[in-house]
Structure 1
Amino acid sequence: MSVVITGIGAVTPAGIGIDPLWDSARDGTPLVGAIDRFDASEYACDAAGQAGFDARAELPSRFVKRTDRFTHLSVHAVRQALADARVTVGDQVTPERTGVMVGNILGGWEFAERELRHLWTDGPRAVSPYQATAWFPAAPQGNICIDQGIKGPARTYVADRASGAYALIGAAESLLRDRADVVIAGGVEAPLSPYGWLCMETSGLGAKSRASLAPHELYRPFDAGHGGSVFGEGAVFLAMERREHAERRGATVLGELAGWGVSTDGYMPYYTVEPTGQVLGRAMRTATERAGITGADLGAVFAHGSGIPFEDVTEGYALHEAFGARAGQLPVTAPKSGFGHLLGAAAPADTALALRAMREGVVPPTVNLDRKAPGIDLDLVADAARQVSGLEHTLVVSRGLGGVNACLLLRR
């Protein structure tokens, strides 16, 4: 029994859908720019990946008024994923056999900030009655279920930057346990509000603006000038099914989630990671073993590539821990440096790109990788996309604060 992906929906800084995201990643097009959503001039980093999505043009105005932007992004991306999979809840699958898994970190601070401002300036009666339901991380999950009439298993995963990967794993496990026939899984983040952006700044994970670099040059995974992530907003969701269910209804299979592995560093201080890469390496190895392959069968790695120096270096250590000498021969890339780290949506975005990469036989480049950082012994894809023959298996790496690790093994 295997789990396959049959549809993809995306709202990202590249635009609407997987095609513009793939085109920009393959071509190494930089999409990070100066924040124009609010005045970010006093922040350490005033650059982000911004999605040009107009919710009022795509969704009912009443719905937009009572929900936050991260819910808007999610609902629209899920609609795309279901359309791409040619699934209508209540037709190809019953509501009770349809599930939703969402990864998110911050919740909906754009809505919350506005209403808290009303509270302090105009008093309690000025606060929207939807404040209580609009901001919390599970809001997209609930609104997706309402929008699509879904009544099956539904969960929200909050595991820092690995949240989206955990959502995909949760979907696969629900399908294999026969708790659902179709699960919509992915992640979303909308960090572009003054308080949300302050949370990212105080996390210590973000890059800092530099006079010598343009906004789109700040995010530099594995580069000697790496100094942290530049974050972005977006939602990416996948329609997932058991293979036999997909084949029975004549669906187009985009790829298989053939294996996964999770681990937790349990390392202090909590804001760093285990320094040898052994624990992350174990999650990588578990993912390949679950898929029934070895490192010799891997065709490429979509790295977490946070641009945080100790995370970049230990990710390289982990690949060597998991795959030995083969690690130095694997094409490794982190295309998110072109459009921004999407936090809860980062792993689903990498998964969508990896599926397309296997189909095209092309690994997209890591943007802004000019000179490899010391201590990183990897075959990094830089400058331009690379043709890779026989690209049958790809590893997607995701990790969160405190060493929460999740790795996904995809099969073409």
Structure 2
Amino acid sequence: MSVVITGVGAVTPAGTGMEPLWQSARDGVAQLTTIDRFDASDYACPVAGQADFDALAELPSRFVKRTDRFTHLAVHAVRQALAGAGVRIGEEVAPERTGVMVGNVLGGWEFAERELRKLWTDGPRAVSPYQATAWFPAAPQGNICIDQGIKGPARTFVADRASGAYALIGGAEALLRGRADVVLAGGVEAPLSPYGWLCLETSGLNAKPRATLAPHELYRPFDAGHTGSVFAEGSVFLVLERREHAERRGAVIHGELAGWGVSSDGYMPYYTVEPTGQVLGRAMRAATERAGITGGELGAVLGHGSAIPFEDVTEAYALREAFGSVAERLPFTVPKSGFGHLLGAAAPADAALALYGMRDGLVPPTVNLDRPAPGVDLDLVRGSARPVRDWEHTLVVSRGLGGVNACLLLRR
């Protein structure tokens, strides 16, 4: 019994839909810009990936008014994914047999900040009654269920930057355990508000601007000049089904979520990883073993690529721990360097890009990778997309603060 992907929806700095995201990643286009959503001049990193998405043009005005931007992005991405999969809930699949799994990190602070400002300036009666339900990380999950009439298993995963990977794993496990026939699994993030951005800044994960670099050059995974991540807003959702269910309804199958592995470093509080990469490597190896393949059968690896020097180097260590000398021959790339790290939506975006890359036989490049960092002995794809023949399997790496590791294995 296998889990397949039959639909993808996306709203990212590259545009609306997966084709714009794939084309941008394939061509190595840099989408990062100086933040114009609010005044970020006093922040250490005033650069982000911003999605050009007008919620009022796509969603009912009353819905937009009572929900945060991260919910808008998620609901629209889910609608795209369902349309692409040809799934009509209540017709091809029962509401009780449809699930939702969402990855998110920050919640909805654009709405919350506005209402809390009213609380302190105008008093409690000025605050929207939807404040209590608009900001918390599970808000997209609930609103997706309401929008689509879904009544099956639904969960929100908050595991730092690995949140979206855990959502995909949760969706696959719900299907394999027979709890649903279709699961909408993915992630969403809308960090572009003064407080949300401050949370990222104080985390120490943000890139450090330099006078010699333009905004779009700031995110540099595995480059000798790496100083941290440049984050972005967006949402990516995949429609997951058991293969026999998808085939029975005549769906187009984009690929298979063939394996996954998780591990926890537990190295020290609020730190990302232990220094050898052994524990992350265990999650990588578990993903390939579950899929019944070896490291040598991988066509490419889409790395976590935070551009935090210690994380980049230990990610390279982990690949060698998992696959030995084979690791040095695997095409390795971090396409998110072009459009920004999507936090809770990062792993779903990488999974979707893996599907499109295998479809076209092209590994997208890592943008801004000019000179590999010391200690990174990998086959880094840079400059332009690399053709790969007979590309059947892709490893997607995801990790978060506190040592949370989650790896996905996509099969063509």
- The TM tier, using the shorter chain, reads over 0.9
Instruction: Tell me if 1:230 matches 2:210.
Output: no
Structure 1 residue matching 2:399: 3-state secondary structure: strand
> How do residues 70-219 of structure 1 correspond to structure 2 at under 5 angstroms?
70-219=70-219
Give the superposition deviation at 1:114. 0.1
> How do residues 33-72 of structure 1 correspond to structure 2 at under 5 angstroms?
33-72=33-72
Distance in 1 of aligned mates of 2:15 and 2:299: 28
Structure 1 residue matching 2:101: 3-state secondary structure: strand
Structure 2 residue matching 1:259: 3-state secondary structure: strand
Give the equivalent residue in structure 2 for 1:355. 355
Distance in 2 of aligned mates of 1:296 and 1:198: 42
Letter in 1 for 2:403: G
Distance in 2 of aligned mates of 1:411 and 1:271: 32
Distance in 2 of aligned mates of 1:98 and 1:23: 31
Distance in 1 of aligned mates of 2:276 and 2:304: 16
Give the superposition deviation at 1:208. 1.7
Distance in 1 of aligned mates of 2:181 and 2:272: 39
In structure 2, list runs of 5 or more residues that go unmatched: none
Letter in 1 for 2:312: D
In structure 1, list runs of 5 or more residues that go unmatched: none
Structure 1's consecutive aligned runs of 4 or more residues displaced over 6 angstroms after TM superposition are none
Percent of counterpart pairs with the same letter? 83
Give the equivalent residue in structure 1 for 2:295. 295
Letter in 1 for 2:351: T
Give the superposition deviation at 1:209. 1.7
Structure 1 residue matching 2:199: 3-state secondary structure: helix
Letter in 2 for 1:182: V
Distance in 1 of aligned mates of 2:228 and 2:311: 9
Q: Deviations over 1:84-129 (max 9, x none)?
A: 0000100110000000000000000000000000000000000000
CA contact (8 A) 2:164 2:345 kept: yes
TM-score normalized by the length of structure 1: 1.00
Letter in 2 for 1:261: G
Give the superposition deviation at 1:268. 1.1
> How do residues 184-333 of structure 1 correspond to structure 2 at under 5 angstroms?
184-333=184-333
Distance in 2 of aligned mates of 1:95 and 1:104: 23
Give the superposition deviation at 1:211. 1.1
Instruction: Tell me if 1:382 matches 2:396.
Output: no
Instruction: Tell me if 1:24 matches 2:50.
Output: no
Give the superposition deviation at 1:289. 0.3
Letter in 2 for 1:187: G
Distance in 2 of aligned mates of 1:390 and 1:156: 36
Structure 1 residue matching 2:185: 3-state secondary structure: strand
Letter in 2 for 1:119: L
Letter in 2 for 1:355: L
RMSD: 0.5
Distance in 2 of aligned mates of 1:163 and 1:246: 26
Letter in 1 for 2:294: T
CA contact (8 A) 2:272 2:400 kept: no
Letter in 2 for 1:313: V
Q: Deviations over 1:300-343 (max 9, x none)?
A: 00000000000000000000000001000000000000000000
Structure 1 residue matching 2:160: 3-state secondary structure: coil
The number of aligned residues is: 412
CA contact (8 A) 2:396 2:409 kept: yes
Distance in 2 of aligned mates of 1:280 and 1:271: 14
Distance in 2 of aligned mates of 1:206 and 1:4: 35
TM-score normalized by the length of structure 2: 1.00
CA contact (8 A) 2:272 2:404 kept: no
Structure 1 residue matching 2:78: 3-state secondary structure: helix
Q: Deviations over 1:33-81 (max 9, x none)?
A: 0000000000000000000000000000000000000000000000000
Distance in 2 of aligned mates of 1:9 and 1:394: 20
Give the superposition deviation at 1:269. 4.3
> How do residues 382-401 of structure 1 correspond to structure 2 at under 5 angstroms?
382-401=382-401
